[in-house]
Amino acid sequence: MAIAYRQRVDDDTEFALWKIEEQANELYSQLQLDDDEKTFIDQISNGKRHLHWLGTRVLLRKMLLTDDYIDCKVDEHGKPYLVSMPYHISFSHSFDYAAVMISKNGPVGIDIENVKEKVERIAHKFMSQQELAAIDTDNKIQQLYVCWCAKEAIYKCYGQKAVSFLDNISLQPFTYADEGTVTARLQKADVAIDYKVGYLKYEDYMIGYVKG
């Protein structure tokens, strides 16, 4: 399977989706892995987590146009980074898709989610009363997924664990469309960062993406 969707955000930033239709061994054969990565893969064995890990790495390789070994590590906050290449990166995955965002000039965050009704039951856990009051009832489920994906993308872009979606990330009201932007702020102690988050409905999925 080739790249299913690709979007350039600016001259140095883009994201792409990979529809995972391959078996694990097909994805594995497209990668160069070190001993630690091979051990990790053995530990997670088969299943979706296995395919997602492989799929994001194959997609990263395609986006960077290289057959060489890519030294991709994860920091103490769980944020992936490249040891010897000048790119900021972010990974996400949901069911049949892997997503990767890369940029040369700033941190990035991406999230992809399969749109399901259940989000309504947990909305109060990640959205304030003011944010919930601004949701359009005609597009409730899709708009709630935009809010989740936007906050998840910001969380990944900021890159530190101790952030509450409910208490530390606030979204300005917006009118839902199948593609658009959301204005947001991350505020925590003496940190205050404004973001403009892009979002896109793709098939039965919602994607949120942001560059810091």
The reply to whether 104 and 16 lie within a common domain is yes
- Sign of the CA dihedral running 52, 166, 123, 185: negative
120 close to 110: Cβ distance less than 8 angstroms:
no
Q: Do 80 and 22 sit in the same domain of this protein?
A: yes
Instruction: Flag whether the pTM goes above 0.85.
Output: yes
For 189, the domain range is: 112-205
Distance in angstroms (rounded) separating the CA atoms of residues 37 and 43 = 10
The runs of H, that is alpha helices, within 159-207 are 165-168
pLDDT tens digits, 158-207 = 999 899 999 999 999 999 999 999 999 999 999 999 999 999 999 999 99
Tell me if 210 is assigned to some domain.
no
| Residues forming beta bridges with residue 171, ordered by sequence position | 184
Contact between 171 and 151 under an 8 Å Cβ cutoff? The reply is yes
| Residue 19 near residue 58 (C-beta atoms within 8 A) | no
